[in-house]
């Protein structure tokens, strides 16, 4: 007799009423840093890594105006042109390749090239407007493009004639038909690795807000001047700390710590350098919260995907030394030198610490200590522009209140309070993001779920810190000839020194 196997998936008479998806920022501790970065690096995003695409859309906006393209026609030309750049990059460039090159290669190898640029999931990009979705906001901010009835149109800065001529043959072709394999050889001049293309000089002037031959003009607005200021601070950091492993490290070493922002002839004239000090220091606390939360979620996953609050308390209590909070802080390095300048205390803790949780707690407490030491624009940026008030959940003010409450209590008690704070904040954030569709079904964006006093998780949480867009800015500055290579060791070029008016 054959045994019957019965499997019940869910009630057959109704659809699920609650769906869960992963949330990107489960504790919402990143917002103050991200808002300040948005202000300090206008025209650049975490997704803009190729300067060439700024000139593509700049020229396309001029072409759309001249040809009277509506939104649909403009989108068709844009998608076909992006396919063309990706295809050319596959044949002529070394990595990194143009956006969409991997997808174009896959479709080409499968022989599915006819609909490569058409709208849909079988194309090079599932997004209606392809990679304009990544560069649109930055291009509008940069002033190269504006939107007119959904179509690209010329912005504050008129596209130079050499840049228009650079792309015109491509636009003429893709206005008639899709880009094909037989076209690749004709457009090798549009490869990313081709030196001295016509767009480099205009783009370098835009990024630096400086004309090579006429000096700084009144045409630059506040965003342009802010971007220039940030680029000057980054370039000066590269000059002074060429041994740094990456752009962000160079900026942090130069600006976040020591007296350089007050004594250097360039940095002392750039008030935004002080704002960057606050952002760089606040980011350290953000990273500590993100790591601590990721460790908590990992504990739940390792416990067969389910744990109680008591389990989480036991875990974190076992990760910290048996001492009071006051005693623990006495063992932490100083955050300020004798002259009142910030010291790299958080970095010292990370280098000397023995346990992840202990390091994260120390970084959070050191961040709270900086509230009484930073001043002016550094303090304002550290607080995310907030100069007064109660603050936000899990911000340095919150940590400072918790510290004072537990000053003479065991460190484990403070750690357990932080666990409770994170669980409560995660719930607040997920409920704030809750979406209800037209059928009444709810979608909750979180990786950690609470049901009847137990917490469930089966997907790890990301522990990486929030980006500052300095990596993107440094990379594109290299592409534009302002920096000598892909790391600070390559230094600033003569062109970069001249356009940014750096000391020599």
Average pLDDT on 183-196 reads 97
At 14 the pLDDT is: 44
Q: How far apart are CA 191 and CA 74, in angstroms?
A: 22
| Cβ–Cβ under 8 Å, residues 292 and 422 | yes
The percent of the chain in helix, strand and coil, each rounded to the nearest 5, is 55, 5, 40
Q: How far apart are CA 261 and CA 101, in angstroms?
A: 42
* Beta strands at 442-445 and 18-21: parallel, antiparallel or unpaired: parallel
Residue with tokens 């008016």: 501
Residues 6+ apart with CB under 8 A from 345: 332, 333, 334, 335, 366
| Cβ–Cβ under 8 Å, residues 209 and 23 | no
435-436: strand order across its sheet: 18-21, 442-445, 435-436
pLDDT in tens, 270-279: 999 999 999 9
Average pLDDT on 426-431 reads 90
Residue % of the chain over a pLDDT of 70: 93
Q: How far apart are CA 410 and CA 322, in angstroms?
A: 7
What Cα–Cα distance (Å) separates residue 485 from each residue in 243, 248, 376, 474? 13, 15, 35, 9
C-alpha dihedral, 172 to 203 to 78 to 138, nearest 10°: -160
Q: How far apart are CA 452 and CA 258, in angstroms?
A: 51
- The string over 191-203, giving b where at least 16 C-beta atoms fall within 10 Å of a residue's C-beta and e elsewhere, is bbeeeebbbbbbb
pLDDT in tens, 144-164: 999 999 999 999 999 999 999
Cis? peptide before 96, omega within 30° of 0: yes
Burial class (CB in 10 A: 0-12, 13-18, 19+), 285: buried
* Mean of pLDDT over the chain: 93
Six-digit token pair at 64? 């759309």
- Secondary structure letter of residue 244 according to DSSP: S
pLDDT in tens, 316-358: 999 999 999 999 999 999 999 999 999 999 999 999 877 799 9
pLDDT in tens, 307-324: 999 999 999 999 999 999
Continuous H helices in 189-242 = 200-208, 222-240
Query: Would you kindly state where each structural domain of the chain is located, as residue ranges?
Result: 52-198, 274-425
pLDDT in tens, 41-88: 999 999 999 999 999 999 999 999 999 999 999 999 999 999 999 999
At 330 the pLDDT is: 97
User: What separation, in Å, do the N-terminal and C-terminal C-alpha atoms of the chain show?
Assistant: 90
At 214 the pLDDT is: 60
């Amino acid at each position: 007799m054959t045994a019957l196997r019965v499997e019940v998936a869910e009630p057959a008479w109704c659809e699920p009423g609650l769906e869960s998806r992963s949330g990107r920022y489960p504790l919402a501790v990143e917002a103050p840093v991200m808002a300040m970065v948005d202000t300090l690096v206008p025209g650049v995003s975490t997704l803009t890594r190729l300067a060439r695409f700024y000139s593509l859309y700049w020229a396309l906006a001029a072409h759309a105006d001249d040809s009277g393209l509506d939104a649909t026609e403009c989108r068709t030309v844009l998608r076909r042109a992006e396919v063309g750049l990706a295809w050319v990059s596959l044949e002529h460039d070394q990595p990194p390749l143009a956006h969409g090159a991997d997808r174009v290669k896959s479709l080409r190898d499968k022989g599915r090239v006819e609909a490569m640029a058409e709208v849909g999931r079988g194309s090079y990009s599932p997004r209606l407007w392809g990679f304009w979705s990544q560069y649109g906001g930055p291009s509008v901010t940069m002033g190269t493009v504006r939107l007119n009835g959904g179509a690209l149109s010329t912005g504050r800065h008129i596209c130079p004639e050499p840049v228009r001529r650079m792309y015109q043959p491509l636009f003429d072709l893709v206005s008639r038909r899709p880009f094909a394999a037989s076209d690749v050889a004709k457009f090798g001049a549009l490869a990313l690795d081709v030196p001295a293309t016509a767009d480099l000089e205009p783009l370098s002037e835009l990024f630096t807000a400086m004309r090579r031959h006429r000096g700084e003009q009144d045409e630059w607005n506040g965003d342009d001047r802010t971007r220039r200021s940030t680029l000057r601070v980054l370039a000066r950091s590269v000059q002074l700390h060429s041994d740094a492993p990456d752009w962000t490290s160079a900026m942090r070493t130069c600006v976040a710590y020591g007296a350089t922002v007050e004594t250097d002839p360039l940095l002392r004239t750039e008030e935004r350098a002080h704002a960057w000090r606050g952002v760089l220091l606040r980011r350290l606390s953000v990273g500590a919260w993100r790591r601590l939360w990721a460790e908590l979620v990992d504990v739940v996953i390792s416990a067969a995907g389910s744990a109680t609050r008591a389990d989480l308390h036991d875990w974190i209590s076992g990760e910290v030394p048996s001492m009071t909070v006051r005693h623990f802080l006495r063992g932490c390095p100083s955050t300020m030198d004798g002259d009142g300048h910030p010291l790299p205390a958080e970095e010292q803790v990370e280098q000397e610490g023995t346990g992840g949780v202990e390091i994260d707690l120390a970084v959070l407490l050191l961040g709270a200590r900086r509230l009484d030491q930073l001043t002016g624009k550094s303090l304002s940026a550290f607080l995310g522009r907030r100069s007064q008030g109660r603050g936000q959940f899990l911000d340095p003010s919150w940590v400072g209140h918790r510290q004072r409450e537990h000053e003479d209590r065991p460190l484990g008690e403070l750690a357990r309070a932080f666990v409770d704070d994170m669980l409560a904040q995660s719930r607040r954030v997920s409920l704030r993001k809750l979406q209800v569709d037209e059928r009444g079904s709810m979608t909750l964006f979180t990786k950690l779920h609470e049901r009847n006093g137990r917490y469930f998780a089966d997907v790890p949480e990301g522990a990486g810190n929030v980006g500052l867009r300095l990596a993107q800015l440094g990379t594109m500055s290299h592409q534009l000839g302002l920096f000598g290579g892909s790391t600070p060791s390559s230094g600033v070029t003569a062109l970069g020194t001249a356009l940014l008016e750096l000391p020599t």
